[in-house]
Each structure stands twice: as structure tokens, then as C-alpha cells.
Structure 1
Amino acid sequence: MKVTIISHTYLEPENQKNLLALNALCDVRCILPRRGPVLIFQDYEFVESPESSHIFSSFRTFYLSKGQYIFCSLTMGLFKFKPDVINIEYNPWSLMFFQVLLYRWMFNPKSKIVCTLKKNTYRCMPGVFGRVKDLIARFSMRKVDHVIAASNMVADLCKNEFSIPARNVSVCHHLGVDVSLFNPIGEKFQGDNNPQRPMVVGYCGRFDEAKGILDIIEAVRLVKQTAKRTIILKLMGCGAYDNFLDEHLRNESQRLDWLELLSPVPNADVAKFLRTLDIFVLPSRILDDHQEHDAHALLEAMASGVACIGTKSGIIPEILGGGYGYVVNPDSPHELCDAICDLINNSRDRAMLSLRGRRKAIDEFALTKIAKKKFTIFKGIVNEN
């Protein structure tokens, strides 16, 4: 079985491990831009490695607007490779989707179109522009043979908003985690019950309104009013699009001696950061057109054996529900404060969540687990034909 995957996600070297795992099960080709932003908005340039050179093909891109581009290629490799499945990791109403749809019709019309969707909200904007977008979205969704939804929330959106039959929707997390890299071994603090040792709370990701960064700062400020132990808050990342939070957080870190700001690093180095934490917090908010999409940093923290707290936003309850972490309401620094205090004062709960989170990451989100699940989905689609 031949599968072509089209996405900028795999510019990040750590993410490429997902395709290597899938390539062990089927013949994979990945089409990606030569340069672009990934994860916490570092600008990556594609670097070919000997072990994966046969998998990846990179092309220049032509941008029509921010986030909307097409590849500068006449075939995108579809004419030569002739895949059974074309997996597009872009929204079906994007320009990229329509370019792939055209090339599929020209070069390999028997290929099945599979769309990976992470966005779990859909807002029909008012006015002519909103109406046109809605018509395009509904037209393009009818051209998709199968949807891989990154969460149950996305799957429900596809079925309820776009009337996609349940048989044409599968739930599978977007990216797996290298559980051998993200593990509790190494720089973990010793002497957990030592009251003299600082407790470290942390976050890794974008600094923007949707991520609730100000909520976690306020929550830790409240914790420090009553906590008997020294508390340190570490935030690693940067603003998504040069927003005001970058400057605001820099000013706060200079004013607050317990707040540390760390610049973003390649994903492989995030593992070292996570091992320094006692508690990981993902305080995502619910906005008009945003809820947490995939919470990949949360999965990496769980794999690293860090006790986790999240909010009831998007996919987070699906990951932490059932006793794998604390889940609180979004936009509630006081609830975050209570959860952090509870874990600081209860080393047994921290240890339990550490073990349970690590086990869930291994059993459900390891690279090989996600690769096998995607392979099963692709194989089922091809066999249907």
C-alpha cells in the first residue's frame, strides 16, 4: 500500500519519527514545504537525512495570504508515485487542499483522499465572506473519502456540522510520542519529600490568549500566598505572531523572581525541560473559534512522568479524564491554584499520576501505536474500494 502525506508538520525532525514508524508498515512519501513554522512557531528549514531521504520531497511555496499557500510543483510527486491514499493534513477548505484535489484528478484519480483534522470548532462568520467560506467548506468536505479526527470532539463536529457518515470518520491522535526520549529518567529532582527543595511548575508551548498563560501566572501567584514550599514557574515558548504577551511576560519575569522564561528549543530538547518539572499545566481557554486541538505537549509531559493539570478545553479532558490528571474549568486561576496546591501537598498523588500518565502515553500514544492505528485506517479505506 502506498500513502502520500502532505503536511508542514514534519519539518520538525522529532515529528519525522512518526513517518518512519508508519513507513515500516507501508510505503510512505511525504510532501512538505522547504521552510515553515512548526510547533511553538520556530521557523524550520527542511534538512534531509540519509535514513529518510526516500520518504520526503520538499518544494518551494507560493503564499497568497498568511497561512494560505500552494506548492510550486507541477505534479507534487503524485504522477510518479501513484499513491493508494493521499492524506492531507490541512483543512479541506484550504488552498492546499484544492491543489491536491486538482492533481489527484489529473494524475491518479483512483487515490483515496483522507483529511486529518485537528480543529474542533467551526464558526460560520456573518456576511458574504462567511457565506462563501461556508459553501466552500461544505463542498470540499464532500470530496473527502475519509476523515481522521484528532479527537472525539473533532469527530462529532464532522458528523453533526457536516453530516459526514460515522463510517467515514476515524479517531486517531495526530502525532505519536517517542516514549524512549520523553521519559522520567535523567534530570528529575531527588528527595521529593524535602520541604527545602523548590517545587517546579511548568508549561511549554505558544504564548497567546488561547493558551491561558496569564491564568497560570495568576494561579501560581495565589499558590505562593499560602504554600510553605518555594514555588518556581517555568514557561518555555514564544508568542505565536509577535503578540503583546512576549513583551508582557518579559516584564513580568524581571519583576517576579519566581517566574522563569525560556526560549523555544527543538522538540527533542523539550524532553530535558520536562524532566525538571514536578507539575505540568496546560491552561487552555475556550474562545469563540478555538479549543485545545491536540495537546501534544501534555502527552510529552505524561510520557516524561510529570503529574499534569489541564482545563476543560477541547481534547484535554479526553486525555486526562479517568484519573490520569487533574481537569479544571478554563479561565479559572483559583481552580488552577487549588489543583496545584493539592499536588504540591500530596506526593502520593503526584507519584500516582506520574505512573498512570506514563503508562497511558506508552499504551495509547507511542509512535508505534499511532502508526499502527493510521495503517489500519488506510488499509480499511483501500480495502473498501
Structure 2
Amino acid sequence: MRVTLISKACVVGAYQTKLEEIAAHQDVELTVVVPPYWREGDRRLVLERSHTRGYELIVVPMAFNGSFHLHYYPTLPDILARSRPDIVHMDEEPYNLSTYLAVRAAARQGARTVFFTWQNLKRRYPPPFRQMERWVYRHVHAAIAGNREAVEVLRDKGYTGPVHVIPQFGVDPDLFCPQQIPRHDTAFTVGYAGRLVEQKGLRILVAALETMESDWRLLICGSGPLRKEIETRLASRGLAGRVRFCEQVPSGEMPQYLGAMDVLVLPSLTRPNWKEQFGRVLIEAMACGVPVIGSNSGEIPHVIGNGGLVVPEGDATALRDALEALRVDPIRRARMGHLGRERVLAHYTQARIAAETVALYRDLAAAAVS
């Protein structure tokens, strides 16, 4: 099968291990199309050529870079005309311009098409995106949903084709594994990794830590508009020395930062236009044997399973109590870390995600000749 996968997310090196796993299947001839970078808010994610064995990586210009709804690849029709793929996999939501144009270009080559969606809220998009979404639903051959609620959204919005629940990416368990990092500071270290934005619940995490009487440290990996507020708030309480910010962490170095944490927290907050769609950092931490605490927003409880603790979203007291329970019980932390890694090995490795994706490709190819 000749497969062309279009993905701005695959500029991230750690995500490319899934591509190598897909390409390792002998019946797949994989071509991957990516932009040279992706602009995400205040960050510029430049292409990392970290894992490129076994497939062809094509880097092409992107128009309207940074716009989730409007970005697209002007040269993609020419690429598809030359490569004549059997399957075109758009690693994008069905309502954006990139997916709409890719499905149209693929149809001209007679290729089977599949898109990916995380969208776990039923949202009504303005024209022309609503019309593009409906057109894609009618003409695409399959959909991949990154979580269970996204399947319900697709059905509610009128998509009637096949849907496969497969997370967008897993983790490489050889890279994300328990770390042996010397600790010079014995204080209980709480970690957060992700965007510093309101809906990720950073204010709740800070409020929980402020009421802990024990010694603690906060390690934040990420950037965003809430940084200044967090710094000012902790400084006003004499706690500025307890927090460390690491804004730009290459994906391949993330295991070292996770290894410096005693627990990772993802305290996401559901909002009218957003709730947590997966929480990739959870499986990265779990793979490293780091216990996790998450809120009950969106897909978080299902991802964590028995590999961590779940607290009510927005409840700083419940989060503080969960943190304190783990702080005083290192044996429980170790047991939870072990269970978390076992859960990742069973459900969330790149090899597992790739195998499920290739099985979908085979179904599409078989349907094309039946």
C-alpha cells in the first residue's frame, strides 16, 4: 500500500517514532508530508529530524501557518499526482481547510481517505468551515477518533462512515522510561508540562500547593500567558524560590525532566468550547514510572486508569489532599508508577498505535478492491 500521511504534528521528533513503526510494516510504503515548522501560539515548533528511518519525509511550505482552521499545503496536489497513493491520511480535523483540500486532491487520484479528530465537544462552526466539514463527512472513507467522546460527536454531527478509536500518538517506551537522575534537593517535586493557559488548571495547582504545609518544589515545563501571573502570585507569598520554569524542552529530553518529578499533575478545566481531549503528557510520565494526578475533565480518567489518581476538576482542596497522600507514601508512589508504565505498555506505545493504524489502512485498501 502506498500511503501518504500529512501531519503538522510530526514536526515533533518524539512523534516520528510512530511513523517509523508504521513504515516497519512490510506492506506499507509510507510518505510523510510536513511543514518546516508550526507556529503554536507564542511558540515556533521547528521540524526535528529525529526518527526518519524507513519512510520518505517531504518538507513543503504551509500557507497560513499557525491558523488551525485556515492552514494548508499549496503543493500537496502536485505531490499526490506524482506519488499516486492508495491511501491519504490527513492528520487533521475535518472542519479545516487543509483536510478539505487534501480530500479533494486525493479524490482526483482515486485514493482512499481518512481524517483524524480529537473534537470531544459538539461545536457548530461558522461558514465556510461548517460546509467544508459536511463535505468531508460525505466524501471521506474513514475517520480516526482520538478519544471515545469524539465518536459520539461525529455521529451527532451526521458522519455515518467507519470510525476507529486510536490516539494520535503513543510513546516510545525505550525513550520514555524510568530515569536514574541524582536528586540534590529532597523536597517533594510536583511537575506540570504543557501550555500555561487558564483551561489547563495552573491556578488550581498553585492554590493546592499554597495550602500544603510541607516542603515542596514546582517544576513547570512549558510557556504561555499565565507565567507572569504564577511568578507574581508565588512571590507575593514568599514562595518564588520553590518554582522552576523550563520553557523550551526538546521532545527527546523530556524524559529527563519527568524523571526529576515525584508526581506529575494535569489539572485541566472543562470550558464551554474545550475539555481535555487526551493529555499526552500523562502517558509520557506514566511510561517513565512517574505517578500522575489528573482532573476528571474529558478523557483524562480513561487515560490514567489504574495508573494514577483522579480528582474533581477545579477542586484545589482535593488536589492538595491527593498530593499530600502521595508525598507521605513513597511506596505507594512507586507502586503507582509501576502500574502506570504497565498501562502504557499495554495500550499506548507507538508500536501499538501504529499497528492499529495499519490495520485501518488494510481495511481501506481491501474495500477499494472488493
State whether residues 35 and 62 of structure 2, in contact with CA within 8 Å, keep that contact through their aligned partners in structure 1: yes
Taking a change above 3 Å as real, the CA distance of residues 49 and 176 of structure 1, as seen in their structure-2 partners, is closer
In the alignment, does 2:151 pair up with 1:155?
Answer: yes
- Which deviates more, 140-149 or 73-82? 73-82
- Which deviates more, 46-55 or 290-299? 46-55
Q: 2:302 aligns to what?
A: 318
Q: How does 1:109-148 map to 2 (within 5 A)?
A: 109=110, 111-124=111-124, 130=126, 133-148=129-144
Residue 58 of structure 1 aligns to which amino acid in structure 2? V
Q: Equivalents in 2 of 1:188, 1:178: separation in Å?
A: 23
**Secondary structure at the counterpart of residue 195 of structure 2:** strand
Q: Equivalents in 1 of 2:76, 2:326: separation in Å?
A: 56
Taking a change above 3 Å as real, the CA distance of residues 54 and 353 of structure 1, as seen in their structure-2 partners, is closer
State whether residues 188 and 275 of structure 1, in contact with CA within 8 Å, keep that contact through their aligned partners in structure 2: no
Q: 1:19: Cα distance to partner?
A: 0.4
Q: 1:260: Cα distance to partner?
A: 2.0
Q: 2:227 aligns to what?
A: 246
Q: Equivalents in 1 of 2:50, 2:253: separation in Å?
A: 19
Q: Equivalents in 1 of 2:346, 2:223: separation in Å?
A: 31
Taking a change above 3 Å as real, the CA distance of residues 294 and 258 of structure 1, as seen in their structure-2 partners, is same
Q: 2:193 aligns to what?
A: 204
Taking a change above 3 Å as real, the CA distance of residues 131 and 73 of structure 1, as seen in their structure-2 partners, is closer
Taking a change above 3 Å as real, the CA distance of residues 18 and 105 of structure 1, as seen in their structure-2 partners, is same
Q: 1:52: Cα distance to partner?
A: 4.0
State whether residues 61 and 70 of structure 1, in contact with CA within 8 Å, keep that contact through their aligned partners in structure 2: yes
Among 330, 350, 353, the residue aligned to 1:370? 353
Q: 1:160: Cα distance to partner?
A: 3.0
Q: 1:273: Cα distance to partner?
A: 0.3
Residue 116 of structure 1 aligns to which amino acid in structure 2? F
Q: 1:56: Cα distance to partner?
A: 1.0
**Secondary structure at the counterpart of residue 218 of structure 2:** strand
Count of aligned positions: 362
User: What is the aligned-residue identity percentage?
Assistant: 23
**Secondary structure at the counterpart of residue 106 of structure 2:** helix
Q: Equivalents in 2 of 1:65, 1:181: separation in Å?
A: 29
Q: 1:5: Cα distance to partner?
A: 0.8
State whether residues 174 and 294 of structure 1, in contact with CA within 8 Å, keep that contact through their aligned partners in structure 2: no
**Secondary structure at the counterpart of residue 206 of structure 1:** coil
Q: Equivalents in 1 of 2:202, 2:160: separation in Å?
A: 35
Residue 158 of structure 2 aligns to which amino acid in structure 1? F
Q: Equivalents in 2 of 1:188, 1:304: separation in Å?
A: 15
In the alignment, does 2:58 pair up with 1:57?
Answer: yes
Q: 1:44: Cα distance to partner?
A: 2.9
State whether residues 203 and 282 of structure 1, in contact with CA within 8 Å, keep that contact through their aligned partners in structure 2: yes
Q: 2:101 aligns to what?
A: 99
State whether residues 188 and 277 of structure 1, in contact with CA within 8 Å, keep that contact through their aligned partners in structure 2: no
In structure 2, runs of 5+ residues without a counterpart are none
Q: 1:120: Cα distance to partner?
A: 1.3
TM value normalised by structure 2: 0.91
TM value normalised by structure 1: 0.87
Q: Equivalents in 1 of 2:39, 2:66: separation in Å?
A: 15
Q: 1:249: Cα distance to partner?
A: 2.5
Q: Equivalents in 1 of 2:357, 2:54: separation in Å?
A: 22
